[in-house]
């Protein structure tokens, strides 16, 4: 694994989560889901959204993802669990530093 891959991947997850939770583009979606108990929380919390963005990026095939995933060295459930933990921590830390964490 190269650190630049992990930095790029982390930034991508955080950026996509930020678009969903903070941008004007998704504000109508957030407002519409605000009354829905579980889904409303998921689109308001950047850490929660980062977890679901990560899962989507790991499942959905994409050109950049296919070249990045092998470089991160996916081997199984343990790697998935550690990467999920990393995304939770890093999203919270970045969000806290930028004032985006709730």
Report residue 60 as tokens. 């959905």
The answer to whether the Cα torsion of 58, 59, 61, 66 is positive or negative is positive
Total-model pTM: 0.80
Q: pLDDT per residue over 20-63, tens digit each?
A: 999 999 999 888 888 888 888 788 889 999 999 998 888 876 66
- Please enumerate, as own/partner, the contacts of 96-100 that have beta carbons within 8 Å and a separation of 24 or more: 100/18, 100/21, 100/22, 100/46
Counted domains in the chain: 1
Percent of the chain surpassing pLDDT 70: 83
| Alpha-carbon gap, residue 71 to 17, rounded angstroms | 23
| Average per-residue pLDDT for the chain | 83
| Alpha-carbon gap, residue 51 to 14, rounded angstroms | 10
Strands in the chain per DSSP E: none
Model confidence at 97, pLDDT cuts 50, 70, 90, reads: very high
Q: pLDDT value at position 52?
A: 92
Q: pLDDT value at position 51?
A: 93
Report residue 78 as tokens. 């343990």
Q: pLDDT per residue over 55-88, tens digit each?
A: 888 887 666 555 555 455 556 778 788 888 999 9
The whole domain housing 67 covers: 3-98
């Amino acid at each position: 694994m190269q650190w630049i891959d992990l930095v790029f991947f982390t930034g991508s997850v955080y950026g996509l989560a930020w678009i969903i939770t903070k941008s004007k583009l998704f504000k109508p979606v957030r407002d519409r889901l605000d009354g829905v108990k579980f889904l409303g929380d998921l689109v308001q919390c950047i850490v929660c959204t980062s977890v679901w963005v990560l899962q989507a990026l790991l499942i959905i095939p994409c050109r950049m993802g296919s070249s990045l995933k092998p470089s991160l060295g996916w081997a199984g459930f343990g790697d998935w669990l550690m990467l999920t933990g990393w995304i939770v921590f890093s999203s919270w830390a970045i969000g806290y530093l930028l004032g985006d964490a709730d």
